[in-house]
Structure 1
Protein backbone atom coordinates (compact mmCIF):
# COMPACT_ATOMS: atom_id res chain seq x y z
CA UNK A 1 0.00 0.00 0.00
CA UNK A 2 1.41 3.35 -1.04
CA UNK A 3 0.57 6.50 0.92
CA UNK A 4 1.34 10.16 0.32
CA UNK A 5 1.57 12.62 3.21
CA UNK A 6 1.06 16.27 2.26
CA UNK A 7 3.02 19.05 3.96
CA UNK A 8 1.71 22.61 4.05
CA UNK A 9 3.49 25.62 5.57
CA UNK A 10 2.60 25.24 9.25
CA UNK A 11 2.03 21.47 9.22
CA UNK A 12 3.58 19.97 12.35
CA UNK A 13 2.30 16.38 12.39
CA UNK A 14 3.33 15.35 8.88
CA UNK A 15 6.39 13.39 10.02
CA UNK A 16 4.42 11.74 12.83
CA UNK A 17 1.78 10.62 10.34
CA UNK A 18 4.40 9.28 7.94
CA UNK A 19 6.11 7.34 10.75
CA UNK A 20 2.81 5.81 11.91
CA UNK A 21 1.92 4.71 8.37
CA UNK A 22 5.38 3.22 7.79
CA UNK A 23 5.18 1.33 11.08
CA UNK A 24 1.88 -0.17 9.89
CA UNK A 25 3.52 -1.41 6.68
CA UNK A 26 2.79 1.34 4.16
CA UNK A 27 5.25 2.74 1.66
CA UNK A 28 5.18 6.48 2.28
CA UNK A 29 6.13 9.38 0.03
CA UNK A 30 6.06 13.04 0.99
CA UNK A 31 4.25 15.67 -1.08
CA UNK A 32 4.78 19.44 -0.88
CA UNK A 33 1.86 21.88 -1.03
CA UNK A 34 3.24 23.51 -4.18
CA UNK A 35 3.17 20.22 -6.10
CA UNK A 36 0.34 20.07 -8.61
CA UNK A 37 0.11 16.27 -8.84
CA UNK A 38 0.40 13.21 -6.66
CA UNK A 39 2.97 10.50 -7.44
CA UNK A 40 1.77 7.51 -9.43
CA UNK A 41 0.13 4.62 -7.67
CA UNK A 42 -1.02 6.39 -4.50
CA UNK A 43 -3.69 4.49 -2.55
CA UNK A 44 -4.02 6.82 0.44
CA UNK A 45 -3.42 10.53 0.97
CA UNK A 46 -2.76 11.71 4.50
CA UNK A 47 -3.51 15.36 5.35
CA UNK A 48 -1.79 16.03 8.68
CA UNK A 49 -2.43 18.23 11.67
CA UNK A 50 -0.83 21.57 12.37
CA UNK A 51 -1.64 25.11 11.34
CA UNK A 52 -1.63 25.18 7.54
CA UNK A 53 -0.78 28.66 6.29
CA UNK A 54 -0.92 29.86 9.90
CA UNK A 55 -4.69 29.15 10.12
CA UNK A 56 -5.37 32.59 8.60
CA UNK A 57 -8.91 33.27 7.35
CA UNK A 58 -10.41 29.95 8.53
CA UNK A 59 -8.50 26.84 9.53
CA UNK A 60 -7.78 24.92 6.31
CA UNK A 61 -9.30 27.56 4.03
CA UNK A 62 -6.06 28.60 2.31
CA UNK A 63 -4.82 25.01 2.06
CA UNK A 64 -7.99 24.19 0.12
CA UNK A 65 -6.79 26.61 -2.59
CA UNK A 66 -3.15 25.48 -2.68
CA UNK A 67 -1.58 24.01 -5.84
CA UNK A 68 -2.01 20.44 -4.52
CA UNK A 69 -5.74 20.93 -3.83
CA UNK A 70 -6.84 19.93 -7.32
CA UNK A 71 -4.93 16.67 -7.10
CA UNK A 72 -6.52 15.91 -3.72
CA UNK A 73 -10.01 16.44 -5.12
CA UNK A 74 -9.17 14.28 -8.15
CA UNK A 75 -7.81 11.51 -5.91
CA UNK A 76 -11.04 11.46 -3.90
CA UNK A 77 -13.18 11.63 -7.05
CA UNK A 78 -11.57 8.48 -8.45
CA UNK A 79 -12.24 6.60 -5.22
CA UNK A 80 -8.88 7.06 -3.51
CA UNK A 81 -8.62 6.92 0.26
CA UNK A 82 -7.90 10.04 2.31
CA UNK A 83 -7.22 10.57 6.00
CA UNK A 84 -7.37 14.06 7.46
CA UNK A 85 -6.33 14.54 11.08
CA UNK A 86 -7.06 17.72 13.08
CA UNK A 87 -6.08 20.53 10.69
CA UNK A 88 -6.31 17.88 7.97
CA UNK A 89 -9.98 17.34 8.90
CA UNK A 90 -10.50 21.09 8.58
CA UNK A 91 -8.83 21.02 5.15
CA UNK A 92 -11.07 18.17 3.97
CA UNK A 93 -14.22 20.07 4.94
CA UNK A 94 -12.92 23.19 3.18
CA UNK A 95 -12.21 21.07 0.08
CA UNK A 96 -15.83 19.89 0.16
CA UNK A 97 -14.79 16.25 0.60
CA UNK A 98 -16.55 15.92 3.95
CA UNK A 99 -19.76 17.57 5.19
CA UNK A 100 -20.02 20.03 8.04
CA UNK A 101 -17.57 22.56 9.44
CA UNK A 102 -15.14 22.89 12.35
CA UNK A 103 -15.84 25.89 14.57
CA UNK A 104 -14.18 27.41 17.65
CA UNK A 105 -14.37 25.14 20.68
CA UNK A 106 -17.12 25.75 23.18
CA UNK A 107 -15.64 28.07 25.80
CA UNK A 108 -13.13 29.38 23.22
CA UNK A 109 -10.32 27.36 24.79
CA UNK A 110 -7.49 25.40 23.22
CA UNK A 111 -7.79 21.76 24.28
CA UNK A 112 -4.66 19.63 24.60
CA UNK A 113 -5.15 16.40 26.55
CA UNK A 114 -5.94 12.70 26.25
CA UNK A 115 -9.53 12.18 25.09
CA UNK A 116 -11.68 9.12 25.45
CA UNK A 117 -13.38 8.14 22.20
CA UNK A 118 -16.03 5.60 21.32
CA UNK A 119 -15.66 3.79 18.01
CA UNK A 120 -19.07 4.43 16.47
CA UNK A 121 -18.63 2.07 13.52
CA UNK A 122 -16.17 -0.62 12.55
CA UNK A 123 -17.52 -0.71 8.99
CA UNK A 124 -14.74 1.18 7.26
CA UNK A 125 -11.11 0.61 6.34
CA UNK A 126 -10.14 3.27 8.89
CA UNK A 127 -11.96 1.66 11.82
CA UNK A 128 -11.58 -2.00 10.85
CA UNK A 129 -8.91 -2.46 13.53
CA UNK A 130 -11.44 -1.74 16.29
CA UNK A 131 -14.76 -3.14 17.45
CA UNK A 132 -17.90 -1.03 17.25
CA UNK A 133 -18.53 0.48 20.68
CA UNK A 134 -14.90 0.06 21.78
CA UNK A 135 -13.52 2.92 23.86
CA UNK A 136 -10.01 4.16 23.21
CA UNK A 137 -7.89 7.08 24.42
CA UNK A 138 -6.38 9.36 21.79
CA UNK A 139 -4.88 12.84 22.39
CA UNK A 140 -6.49 16.01 21.10
CA UNK A 141 -4.83 19.38 20.46
CA UNK A 142 -7.16 21.89 18.84
CA UNK A 143 -8.86 25.24 19.17
CA UNK A 144 -11.31 24.81 16.28
CA UNK A 145 -12.56 21.26 16.72
CA UNK A 146 -16.23 21.97 17.36
CA UNK A 147 -17.89 19.93 14.61
CA UNK A 148 -21.15 21.39 13.34
CA UNK A 149 -23.60 20.15 10.73
CA UNK A 150 -27.25 20.94 10.04
CA UNK A 151 -30.00 18.59 11.27
CA UNK A 152 -30.51 17.07 7.82
CA UNK A 153 -26.80 16.40 7.46
CA UNK A 154 -26.62 14.85 10.92
CA UNK A 155 -29.58 12.60 10.12
CA UNK A 156 -27.79 11.45 6.96
CA UNK A 157 -24.58 10.68 8.86
CA UNK A 158 -26.54 8.60 11.35
CA UNK A 159 -28.66 6.82 8.75
CA UNK A 160 -25.61 5.94 6.65
CA UNK A 161 -23.45 4.89 9.64
CA UNK A 162 -20.86 7.55 8.77
CA UNK A 163 -20.00 8.77 12.27
CA UNK A 164 -16.62 7.15 12.90
CA UNK A 165 -15.77 8.33 16.43
CA UNK A 166 -17.52 10.21 19.23
CA UNK A 167 -16.17 11.85 22.38
CA UNK A 168 -16.95 10.22 25.73
CA UNK A 169 -17.92 12.48 27.49
CA UNK A 170 -18.60 15.66 25.49
CA UNK A 171 -15.41 17.47 24.56
CA UNK A 172 -15.63 20.71 22.62
CA UNK A 173 -19.25 21.45 21.78
CA UNK A 174 -19.39 19.19 18.72
CA UNK A 175 -22.91 18.25 17.68
CA UNK A 176 -23.70 14.69 18.81
CA UNK A 177 -20.17 14.63 20.34
CA UNK A 178 -18.76 13.81 16.90
CA UNK A 179 -14.98 13.38 16.73
CA UNK A 180 -14.70 11.93 13.21
CA UNK A 181 -16.84 11.39 10.11
CA UNK A 182 -16.70 9.37 6.90
CA UNK A 183 -17.52 10.36 3.35
CA UNK A 184 -20.48 8.85 1.52
CA UNK A 185 -18.26 6.20 -0.11
CA UNK A 186 -16.50 5.58 3.25
CA UNK A 187 -13.08 6.20 1.69
CA UNK A 188 -12.43 9.60 3.29
CA UNK A 189 -12.11 10.03 7.06
CA UNK A 190 -11.70 13.27 8.95
CA UNK A 191 -11.05 13.22 12.69
CA UNK A 192 -9.91 15.81 15.22
CA UNK A 193 -8.02 13.50 17.65
CA UNK A 194 -4.45 12.49 16.75
CA UNK A 195 -4.04 8.69 16.36
CA UNK A 196 -0.50 9.22 15.05
CA UNK A 197 0.41 10.54 18.51
CA UNK A 198 -0.80 7.29 20.08
CA UNK A 199 0.82 4.78 17.73
CA UNK A 200 3.97 3.96 19.72
CA UNK A 201 4.27 2.94 23.37
CA UNK A 202 7.47 4.99 23.66
CA UNK A 203 5.72 8.24 22.74
CA UNK A 204 2.35 8.16 24.46
CA UNK A 205 0.44 4.94 23.95
CA UNK A 206 -0.63 2.54 21.22
CA UNK A 207 -4.40 2.87 20.98
CA UNK A 208 -4.11 4.75 17.70
CA UNK A 209 -1.97 2.05 16.08
CA UNK A 210 -4.93 -0.25 15.17
CA UNK A 211 -6.30 2.52 12.95
CA UNK A 212 -3.17 2.47 10.81
CA UNK A 213 -2.72 -1.31 10.86
CA UNK A 214 -6.37 -1.93 9.99
CA UNK A 215 -6.24 0.68 7.24
CA UNK A 216 -3.11 -0.77 5.61
CA UNK A 217 -4.41 -4.33 5.87
CA UNK A 218 -7.77 -3.34 4.38
CA UNK A 219 -6.17 -1.57 1.45
CA UNK A 220 -3.74 -4.42 0.80
CA UNK A 221 -6.68 -6.85 0.62
CA UNK A 222 -8.75 -4.54 -1.60
Structure 2
Protein backbone atom coordinates (compact mmCIF):
# COMPACT_ATOMS: atom_id res chain seq x y z
CA UNK A 1 0.00 0.00 0.00
CA UNK A 2 1.36 3.40 -0.98
CA UNK A 3 1.87 5.89 1.85
CA UNK A 4 0.52 9.45 1.50
CA UNK A 5 1.47 12.61 3.42
CA UNK A 6 -0.30 16.00 3.30
CA UNK A 7 1.72 19.18 3.91
CA UNK A 8 -0.37 22.35 4.10
CA UNK A 9 -0.63 25.13 6.67
CA UNK A 10 -4.42 25.34 6.19
CA UNK A 11 -6.28 22.87 8.40
CA UNK A 12 -9.35 23.01 6.17
CA UNK A 13 -7.29 22.12 3.08
CA UNK A 14 -5.77 19.09 4.84
CA UNK A 15 -9.19 17.91 5.97
CA UNK A 16 -10.64 18.32 2.47
CA UNK A 17 -7.95 16.11 0.99
CA UNK A 18 -8.51 13.49 3.67
CA UNK A 19 -12.23 13.11 2.98
CA UNK A 20 -12.31 13.68 -0.78
CA UNK A 21 -10.95 10.28 -1.76
CA UNK A 22 -11.48 6.64 -0.99
CA UNK A 23 -7.75 6.14 -0.47
CA UNK A 24 -7.92 2.37 -0.08
CA UNK A 25 -9.41 2.06 -3.56
CA UNK A 26 -6.10 3.42 -4.89
CA UNK A 27 -4.11 1.08 -2.66
CA UNK A 28 -3.06 4.14 -0.63
CA UNK A 29 -3.21 5.17 3.02
CA UNK A 30 -2.85 8.55 4.72
CA UNK A 31 0.05 8.20 7.14
CA UNK A 32 0.40 11.75 8.41
CA UNK A 33 0.25 15.46 7.86
CA UNK A 34 2.27 18.59 8.60
CA UNK A 35 1.36 22.26 8.88
CA UNK A 36 4.67 23.53 7.50
CA UNK A 37 7.63 22.43 5.44
CA UNK A 38 9.86 22.48 8.50
CA UNK A 39 7.51 20.23 10.45
CA UNK A 40 7.35 17.90 7.44
CA UNK A 41 11.14 17.63 7.22
CA UNK A 42 11.24 16.72 10.92
CA UNK A 43 8.68 13.91 10.72
CA UNK A 44 9.04 12.60 7.16
CA UNK A 45 11.65 10.01 8.15
CA UNK A 46 9.21 8.30 10.50
CA UNK A 47 6.29 8.50 8.06
CA UNK A 48 8.28 7.38 4.97
CA UNK A 49 5.65 8.51 2.42
CA UNK A 50 5.63 7.46 -1.21
CA UNK A 51 3.45 10.45 -2.16
CA UNK A 52 3.33 13.98 -0.71
CA UNK A 53 0.76 16.70 -1.37
CA UNK A 54 2.64 19.98 -0.80
CA UNK A 55 1.09 23.45 -0.58
CA UNK A 56 3.33 25.97 -2.34
CA UNK A 57 2.60 28.85 0.06
CA UNK A 58 3.59 28.08 3.65
CA UNK A 59 5.41 30.07 6.37
CA UNK A 60 9.07 29.51 7.27
CA UNK A 61 9.64 27.01 4.43
CA UNK A 62 7.48 27.21 1.31
CA UNK A 63 6.57 24.33 -0.96
CA UNK A 64 9.41 24.90 -3.41
CA UNK A 65 12.00 25.03 -0.62
CA UNK A 66 10.58 21.85 0.89
CA UNK A 67 10.59 20.15 -2.51
CA UNK A 68 14.24 21.08 -3.11
CA UNK A 69 15.27 19.43 0.18
CA UNK A 70 12.92 16.47 -0.14
CA UNK A 71 13.97 15.54 -3.68
CA UNK A 72 17.65 15.61 -2.69
CA UNK A 73 17.01 13.18 0.15
CA UNK A 74 14.14 11.10 -1.21
CA UNK A 75 14.59 10.74 -4.95
CA UNK A 76 11.62 8.39 -5.37
CA UNK A 77 9.14 10.61 -3.48
CA UNK A 78 6.19 11.59 -5.68
CA UNK A 79 5.32 15.24 -5.03
CA UNK A 80 2.05 16.95 -5.98
CA UNK A 81 2.18 20.73 -5.66
CA UNK A 82 -1.00 22.46 -4.45
CA UNK A 83 -1.26 26.05 -5.60
CA UNK A 84 -3.68 28.95 -5.87
CA UNK A 85 -4.31 30.45 -9.30
CA UNK A 86 -2.14 33.51 -8.55
CA UNK A 87 0.83 31.30 -7.69
CA UNK A 88 0.58 28.98 -10.69
CA UNK A 89 3.47 30.48 -12.71
CA UNK A 90 5.55 30.50 -9.53
CA UNK A 91 4.74 26.84 -9.06
CA UNK A 92 6.13 26.00 -12.48
CA UNK A 93 9.61 26.59 -11.03
CA UNK A 94 9.17 23.09 -9.67
CA UNK A 95 9.46 21.59 -13.15
CA UNK A 96 13.23 21.30 -12.75
CA UNK A 97 12.64 19.64 -9.37
CA UNK A 98 10.79 16.73 -11.01
CA UNK A 99 7.44 17.51 -9.44
CA UNK A 100 4.90 15.07 -10.82
CA UNK A 101 1.70 17.12 -10.77
CA UNK A 102 0.27 20.56 -10.02
CA UNK A 103 -3.24 20.99 -8.68
CA UNK A 104 -5.13 24.26 -8.36
CA UNK A 105 -6.98 25.10 -5.17
CA UNK A 106 -9.79 24.57 -4.39
CA UNK A 107 -9.30 20.94 -5.29
CA UNK A 108 -11.87 19.33 -7.59
CA UNK A 109 -12.63 15.73 -6.67
CA UNK A 110 -12.73 14.48 -10.26
CA UNK A 111 -9.33 16.03 -11.00
CA UNK A 112 -7.90 14.52 -7.83
CA UNK A 113 -9.20 11.10 -8.82
CA UNK A 114 -7.59 11.39 -12.25
CA UNK A 115 -4.25 12.46 -10.77
CA UNK A 116 -4.20 9.62 -8.25
CA UNK A 117 -5.14 7.09 -10.91
CA UNK A 118 -2.20 8.16 -13.06
CA UNK A 119 0.21 8.20 -10.12
CA UNK A 120 -0.84 4.73 -9.01
CA UNK A 121 -0.33 3.37 -12.51
CA UNK A 122 3.16 4.88 -12.66
CA UNK A 123 4.10 3.63 -9.20
CA UNK A 124 2.84 0.16 -9.99
CA UNK A 125 4.84 0.12 -13.21
CA UNK A 126 8.04 1.84 -12.20
CA UNK A 127 8.25 1.06 -8.51
CA UNK A 128 11.95 0.92 -7.74
CA UNK A 129 11.87 1.11 -3.98
CA UNK A 130 15.31 0.79 -2.44
CA UNK A 131 16.07 -2.67 -1.13
CA UNK A 132 17.27 -2.74 2.44
CA UNK A 133 20.93 -3.52 2.23
CA UNK A 134 23.95 -2.59 4.34
CA UNK A 135 26.17 -3.91 7.09
CA UNK A 136 24.77 -4.90 10.45
CA UNK A 137 24.48 -2.11 13.00
CA UNK A 138 26.07 -2.90 16.35
CA UNK A 139 25.16 -1.25 19.65
CA UNK A 140 28.48 0.62 19.56
CA UNK A 141 27.49 2.29 16.27
CA UNK A 142 24.13 3.31 17.74
CA UNK A 143 26.08 4.80 20.62
CA UNK A 144 28.14 6.84 18.16
CA UNK A 145 24.98 8.04 16.46
CA UNK A 146 23.27 9.08 19.70
CA UNK A 147 26.40 10.97 20.70
CA UNK A 148 26.47 12.65 17.29
CA UNK A 149 22.86 13.76 17.79
CA UNK A 150 23.59 15.12 21.27
CA UNK A 151 26.42 17.20 19.83
CA UNK A 152 24.68 18.37 16.64
CA UNK A 153 20.93 18.58 17.35
CA UNK A 154 20.96 22.37 16.92
CA UNK A 155 21.46 21.82 13.18
CA UNK A 156 17.92 22.10 11.76
CA UNK A 157 18.87 20.07 8.66
CA UNK A 158 19.63 16.89 10.63
CA UNK A 159 17.22 14.01 10.04
CA UNK A 160 17.24 10.24 9.77
CA UNK A 161 18.28 10.17 6.13
CA UNK A 162 21.18 12.60 6.49
CA UNK A 163 22.54 10.70 9.51
CA UNK A 164 22.07 7.34 7.79
CA UNK A 165 24.02 8.58 4.79
CA UNK A 166 26.79 9.92 7.00
CA UNK A 167 27.18 6.59 8.82
CA UNK A 168 26.67 4.48 5.70
CA UNK A 169 23.33 2.79 6.39
CA UNK A 170 19.95 2.47 4.75
CA UNK A 171 17.52 4.89 6.52
CA UNK A 172 14.76 2.31 7.07
CA UNK A 173 17.25 -0.20 8.46
CA UNK A 174 18.79 2.41 10.76
CA UNK A 175 15.33 3.46 11.96
CA UNK A 176 14.46 -0.07 13.07
CA UNK A 177 17.83 -0.76 14.69
CA UNK A 178 17.81 2.60 16.50
CA UNK A 179 14.41 1.80 18.03
CA UNK A 180 15.54 -1.71 18.99
CA UNK A 181 18.70 -0.48 20.74
CA UNK A 182 17.38 2.69 22.42
CA UNK A 183 13.66 2.03 22.90
CA UNK A 184 12.95 5.34 21.16
CA UNK A 185 12.50 6.25 17.54
CA UNK A 186 15.17 8.39 15.89
CA UNK A 187 12.81 11.38 15.80
CA UNK A 188 11.79 10.92 19.45
CA UNK A 189 15.43 10.92 20.54
CA UNK A 190 16.25 13.98 18.43
CA UNK A 191 13.23 15.87 19.78
CA UNK A 192 14.20 14.90 23.34
CA UNK A 193 17.70 16.37 22.85
CA UNK A 194 16.18 19.58 21.54
CA UNK A 195 13.52 19.85 24.24
CA UNK A 196 15.98 19.27 27.07
CA UNK A 197 17.98 22.24 25.81
CA UNK A 198 14.77 24.23 25.25
CA UNK A 199 13.72 23.72 28.87
CA UNK A 200 17.08 25.04 30.03
CA UNK A 201 16.68 28.13 27.86
CA UNK A 202 13.08 28.64 28.98
CA UNK A 203 14.31 28.87 32.57
CA UNK A 204 16.38 31.89 31.53
CA UNK A 205 13.18 33.55 30.22
CA UNK A 206 14.46 33.48 26.63
CA UNK A 207 11.72 34.33 24.13
CA UNK A 208 10.29 31.30 22.35
CA UNK A 209 11.33 32.48 18.87
CA UNK A 210 14.99 32.59 19.89
CA UNK A 211 14.81 29.28 21.76
CA UNK A 212 13.21 27.56 18.76
CA UNK A 213 16.06 28.67 16.51
CA UNK A 214 18.66 27.81 19.12
CA UNK A 215 17.54 24.17 19.35
CA UNK A 216 17.17 23.51 15.62
CA UNK A 217 13.39 23.98 15.13
CA UNK A 218 13.04 27.41 13.48
CA UNK A 219 9.28 27.01 12.95
CA UNK A 220 7.84 28.41 16.22
CA UNK A 221 4.45 26.75 15.73
CA UNK A 222 5.98 23.30 15.37
CA UNK A 223 8.40 24.06 18.21
CA UNK A 224 5.48 25.07 20.43
CA UNK A 225 3.69 21.78 19.80
CA UNK A 226 6.86 19.78 20.50
CA UNK A 227 7.52 21.68 23.73
CA UNK A 228 3.98 21.22 25.06
CA UNK A 229 3.98 17.53 24.20
CA UNK A 230 7.32 17.05 25.98
CA UNK A 231 6.75 19.23 29.06
CA UNK A 232 2.97 19.09 29.43
CA UNK A 233 2.55 22.87 29.33
CA UNK A 234 3.11 25.62 26.80
CA UNK A 235 6.41 27.46 26.51
CA UNK A 236 4.93 30.71 27.86
CA UNK A 237 3.38 28.85 30.81
CA UNK A 238 6.71 27.20 31.56
CA UNK A 239 8.52 30.56 31.49
CA UNK A 240 5.90 32.18 33.73
CA UNK A 241 6.01 29.27 36.18
CA UNK A 242 9.77 29.45 36.60
CA UNK A 243 10.13 33.23 36.65
CA UNK A 244 7.56 33.49 39.42
CA UNK A 245 9.50 31.13 41.68
TM-score bracket for this pair, using the shorter chain length: 0.3 to 0.5
Report which structure shows greater RCO (CA 8 Å, sep ≥6).
Answer: 1
Q: Which protein is bigger by CA-based radius of gyration?
A: 2
Structure with the largest fraction of strand: 1
Return the TM-score normalized by structure 2.
0.37
Return the TM-score normalized by structure 1.
0.41
